[in-house]
Amino acid sequence: MKRIVTAFIITAFLFGIPTLSLAVDGEGILRQVDRNLNPESYEMYRKLINIEPDGTQKEFVLYTIKKGQDRMVALFLSPASEKGRSTLRIEDNMWLYLPNVGKPLRITSLQSIVGGVFNNSDILRLDYSSEYTVASATEDGGNYLLELKAKTGSVAYERIEMVVDRKTVIPTEIRCYASSGILIKTLHYSKTKDFGGGLVRPSMLETDSPLQKGYRSVMLFAKIAAREFNDEVFTLTFLPQVEELR
């Protein structure tokens, strides 16, 4: 079999037949993208900034933890009006805990607990490979171009086009589409930083949307570090106690 594949590649090279489908392992690249962006289980501090057309800004600081491919919790540290709120994601299910209400409320991936262009799916992002399969993977100069299809109908975006730097295997641009084919938003990764522990990745994520002209949202990553957590941390009953983990 190996001789047949080698012979085909040589023939394709001589006669100009494309061979990218043999050379590019899209699923492997996507899994590497996930690990290059974050450890599988980690804690993280980040700031979210919503910018309106008139320049007005609103900032949020979040402490976030993740375990494996399907569990995440985010706790609001500021502003004061949001302090103590926390969110839980288990696979496609999401909840918001409000201290003054005293019980978790169901939320959806396309809603936004902070407003702005980022939705709950962006804020409570799981591994891309857990939500998407690679429909196609090609090379274009110094980049890989991945087209991703949602595994289920509950995922926020039906289709994603991801531009990945071939040298670092880190995404630089991600275009998110609805099932109708409409472009919902574009995500831009930039400002690569060494977070320690072998993690070198972008420290800024910006997004804009043709559906929200003039509005932008920015996510700034201050700390990301591998950390293991007990399963009980990712339960509805633990949401009022997330602050104790810091």
Widest Cα–Cα separation across the chain: 70
Mean predicted lDDT score pLDDT of the chain: 91
Give a yes or no: residue 200 inside a domain: yes
Give a yes or no: residue 239 inside a domain: yes
Which of the two residues, 102 and 170, has the higher pLDDT score? 170
Instruction: Write out the two tokens for 231.
Output: 């399963």
Residues forming a β-bridge with 46: 62, 221
Among 66-75, 101-110, 130-139, name the one with the lowest average pLDDT: 101-110
pLDDT in tens, 217-238: 999 999 999 999 999 999 999 9
Give a yes or no: residue 1 inside a domain: no
**Measured CA distances, 24 to 5, 11, 31, 37 (Å):** 14, 18, 13, 20
**Residues 87, 113: contact at Cβ < 8 Å?**
yes
Which pLDDT belongs to residue 198? 94
How many separate helices (H) and strands (E) can be counted in the chain?
Answer: 5, 13
Residues forming a β-bridge with 47: 61, 220
The total domain count for the chain is 1
Q: Mark residue 52 as left, alpha or beta (left: phi above 0; alpha: psi -120 to 50; beta: remaining).
A: beta
**pLDDT grade for 9, boundaries at 50, 70 and 90:** very low
Terminal-to-terminal C-alpha distance of the chain = 54
Give a yes or no: residue 74 inside a domain: yes
Q: Decide: residue 205, CB within 10 A, 0-12 exposed, 13-18 middle, 19+ buried.
A: buried
CA distance 209 to 183: 8
Instruction: With residue 28 as reference, give the H or E element that holds it.
Output: helix 26-37
Give a yes or no: residue 170 inside a domain: yes
| CATH number of the domain residue 133 falls in | 2.50.20.10
CA distance 132 to 150: 5
Which pLDDT belongs to residue 63? 98
pLDDT in tens, 210-219: 999 999 999 9
**Is 205's pLDDT higher than 60?**
yes
CA distance 127 to 132: 9
Query: What is the residue range of 232's domain?
Result: 24-245
Among 2-16, 59-73, 74-88, 123-137, name the one with the lowest average pLDDT: 2-16
Which pLDDT belongs to residue 38? 95
**Is 11's pLDDT higher than 50?**
no
Which pLDDT belongs to residue 103? 86
**Residues 188, 173: contact at Cβ < 8 Å?**
yes
**Is 74's pLDDT higher than 90?**
yes
Which pLDDT belongs to residue 174? 98
**pLDDT grade for 23, boundaries at 50, 70 and 90:** low
Give a yes or no: residue 104 inside a domain: yes
How long, in residues, is the chain? 246
Among 1-5, 65-69, 85-89, 104-108, name the one with the lowest average pLDDT: 1-5
CA distance 122 to 215: 16
Give a yes or no: residue 176 inside a domain: yes
**pLDDT grade for 123, boundaries at 50, 70 and 90:** very high
156 CB-near residues (< 8 Å, 6+ apart)? 109, 110, 119, 120, 121, 122, 176
**pLDDT grade for 154, boundaries at 50, 70 and 90:** confident
Residues forming a β-bridge with 162: 146, 174
Give a yes or no: residue 50 inside a domain: yes
Which pLDDT belongs to residue 2? 42
